[in-house]
Amino acid sequence: MHCPTPDQGPRPKHPIPGMFHSALLLAAAALPQSADKIQPALREAVEEAEPGTHFRAYAVLGERLTFGDFLEENVGRLPRGERQLHVAERLRAYADERQGALLALLGDLRASGDVSRVDQLWIANAVVFRGNGTAVAAAAALSEVEYVAWDPVRDVSAYYDAACPAPAAPAPASTEPNIVEVQAEALWGLGFKGQGSVLLNIDDGVDYTHPDLAQRIWSNPLDPVDGVDNDGNGLVDDEKGWDFVDGDNDPFPGTGFFGTDTHGTNTAGIMVGDGSGGWKRTGMAPEAELVIARINGETDHWFANQYGISVAVDCSSSSHSYKWSFSPKPNYHMHRIVQDMVLAAGIIHTNSIGNQGGDSFGHPVPFQISAPGLSPAPWRHPAQAQIDGGVSGVMGCGAVLQGDLPYFFSSHGPSAWEDIAIYNGSYPWPQDPPFWDYPYGGFGGAQQGLVKPDVVAPTEVQTTTVGGGYVNFGGTSAATPHNGGALALLVSVNPAAEPRHLAQALQVTANDLGASGKDELFGAGSIRVLDAAKRLMHLIKVDDVAPSLGDTVTVTVRGNANAHFVSLWGYNSGETVTPLFAIDMAPPFFPFAGGFLDGSGGFVQAFAVPFSATLVGVDVLLQSGEDDTGGLTGEFLVSTLESFRIQS
């Protein structure tokens, strides 16, 4: 049984009262000239609203940085932490240069009472504000503003992908079977419990006093509670994270449609619940640090991703998603813009995909998988035929019952990235044609589309809840934090791993279910985090994934100190069994390096790209392995497959 969903219609459940300025509102009612830049549902809502009603709106400027801009800048050369902060500074500076007139206008309207809140969404060069029709019309009238849109205030439960929770009986302290099934406990046995990883939970808040969570809550080292914004991210005293609903530094759950919001505490328990309460060990990564972002709506979700970049998290997870059935429909291209910037910052995000499996009427394929989980993953699986399609920062996670049994409600792929007007002629959002890179060809799909989900994980499990107790928790909401916790574990295993390595490791080692290979029901399969970790303990990595002819690519190999290793390169993916280990390349392939890693477990060598026009567009593949038969794993370790594509 699934929780009922509150009204998701085109009118806000909780209009925000504002000041009444009769002359200004009469001018706004007509919404002249610039009305075509106002998203239709917002325009209709303004025209029907009671005088003084404030709407949660956002104004998007016509220019923005792209993932390609950061690729050209080659931010991948920067180490973790430094890269996130560099991307944040670059995005913020870009927005500051272009938003001056809009911010000044909204500031004046705030003084007059037409605007009650203004927040800069620099991750996508936009500004979110709460204002009346006058403010909406004025913002739309600025030439630099591409469009003004509405993010309706819904009850937070509209975004959940959870089955109704029921109380769980306490049990003697032991690791929950779902955590064992995905190999987390086995990885703990090798010493990796998430230590050193910072994981962001984007949800409805977390009961940070729960005994199993209290020691896992992140404490911002750059912004202690003193009434000053010490880290300069615009948020004062964001010690544990941020409440984007109320705009303060206390991300404790609020009260929603069904009473106290427990969803975020449920997901947090699956990520990091460490069993300190003495009853249950529910968490995948019981030594990771958890940053809390309390949200309600699309703009809050984007703000939370922006926040993760600003405080340099390693990975993030959210079980809030935005469905095709919403009115207005999700702003799919804005979700992808945000996830592109998440990837540019070197962060990997995982998101629930909805519980709409079987609902082909209200949630038809290729939009049954909800946003942002329908965006491309950081690594393109070989099952994906569109080899020129883009990547982004998010892994979409579906659900299976424990024992890897099918879960009927988990949403199905594939997803589509093409002109959405093919599916809905009144789709209200501007689209970026460069994102039309995974076409499906309309309902019934003659083309492949984007193969989704990426992975699946267990649902119908026990986890923490508000007040110190435990509940049964289901849906893809419960599956996704398993993948979030897995990402934190893998960062702990190898902090040098990039999002593409993490996403690849989880997919190539997943327990394949359903049709052979990655499919639209189970993705690449059910996650197995120990097996994924073994693909990252030895890592080969390039510092430039898009070099030009004549460039030099620096190749770094990392593994165990003084271990014997061999690295290969080639042009063709496939599967080949060598005398030492199986690799993901097909012949011909060639030796690149070999011998012994140094005392720190490292090796660095340059790869010069020849000046040859025939190489433009060619993918060069690299893979490496080492002998760990006398070490921690007792096995030969093989890296994920690394690659770079040669540009002109």
Task: Tell me the CATH number at 290.
Answer: 3.40.50.200
C-alpha span between 399 and 477 (Å, rounded): 8
Q: Examine the domain organization and report whether 509 and 557 are in the same domain.
A: no
Q: Examine the domain organization and report whether 185 and 86 are in the same domain.
A: no
Residue 6 predicted with pLDDT over 70: no
Average pLDDT over every residue of 146-171: 85
Q: Examine the domain organization and report whether 164 and 284 are in the same domain.
A: yes
CB burial class (10 A; 0-12, 13-18, 19+) of residue 433? exposed
Residue 212 predicted with pLDDT over 90: yes
Q: Examine the domain organization and report whether 305 and 328 are in the same domain.
A: yes
Range of the domain at 562: 539-645
Rounded to an integer, what is the distance from CA 288 to the centroid of its chain? 18
Written as one string, the DSSP assignment of 520-536 is: TTTBT-B--HHHHHHTT
Q: Examine the domain organization and report whether 268 and 373 are in the same domain.
A: yes
Q: Identity (one letter) of the amino acid at 488?
A: A
Write down the number of H helices and E strands in the chain. Answer: 14, 28
Nearest residue to 121 (alpha-carbon basis) of 60, 70, 39: 60
Own/partner pairs, 173-180, CB within 8 angstroms, 24+ separation: 173/275, 173/278, 173/279, 173/280, 173/281, 174/280, 174/281, 175/275, 175/281, 176/280, 176/281, 176/282, 176/461, 176/462, 176/463, 177/402, 178/402, 178/458, 178/461, 178/482, 179/281, 179/282, 179/283, 179/284
- Does 185 fall in a domain? yes
For 93: left if phi > 0, alpha if psi spans -120 to 50, otherwise beta; the answer is: alpha
Q: Which of 96, 123, 153 is the last residue of a domain?
A: 153
Residue 512, number of CB atoms within 10 A of its CB: 18
Predicted confidence (pLDDT) per residue in 595-613, tens digit = 999 999 999 999 899 889 9
Q: Examine the domain organization and report whether 470 and 572 are in the same domain.
A: no
Q: What is the pLDDT of residue 468?
A: 95
Going through 137-240 in order, the beta strands assigned E by DSSP cover 145-150, 166-167, 174-175, 198-203
Rounded to an integer, what is the distance from CA 517 to the centroid of its chain? 23
Q: Is the Cβ–Cβ distance between 610 and 549 less than 8 Å?
A: yes
Q: Examine the domain organization and report whether 130 and 168 are in the same domain.
A: no
Q: What is the CATH number of the domain that holds 564?
A: 2.20.130.20
- Does 7 fall in a domain? no
Q: Which of 153, 183, 202 is the last residue of a domain?
A: 153
How confident is residue 18, by pLDDT bands cut at 50, 70 and 90?
Answer: very low
Q: Identity (one letter) of the amino acid at 525?
A: G
Predicted confidence (pLDDT) per residue in 93-139, tens digit = 999 999 999 999 999 999 999 999 999 999 999 999 999 999 999 99
Q: Examine the domain organization and report whether 177 and 90 are in the same domain.
A: no
- Does 502 fall in a domain? yes
Q: Examine the domain organization and report whether 48 and 165 are in the same domain.
A: no
Q: Examine the domain organization and report whether 277 and 174 are in the same domain.
A: yes
Q: What is the pLDDT of residue 174?
A: 86
C-alpha span between 395 and 610 (Å, rounded): 35
CB burial class (10 A; 0-12, 13-18, 19+) of residue 85? middle
- Does 4 fall in a domain? no
- Does 241 fall in a domain? no
Q: Examine the domain organization and report whether 113 and 211 are in the same domain.
A: no
Q: Examine the domain organization and report whether 545 and 468 are in the same domain.
A: no
Q: What is the pLDDT of residue 170?
A: 64
Tell me the whole-structure pTM to 2 decimals.
0.94
Residue 7 predicted with pLDDT over 70: no
How confident is residue 409, by pLDDT bands cut at 50, 70 and 90?
Answer: very high
Query: How many domains does the chain contain in total?
Result: 3
Residue 480 predicted with pLDDT over 70: yes
- Does 40 fall in a domain? yes
- Does 256 fall in a domain? no
- Does 490 fall in a domain? yes
Q: Which of 534, 560, 583 is the last residue of a domain?
A: 534
How confident is residue 578, by pLDDT bands cut at 50, 70 and 90?
Answer: confident
According to DSSP, the residues that pair with 371 across neighbouring strands are 322
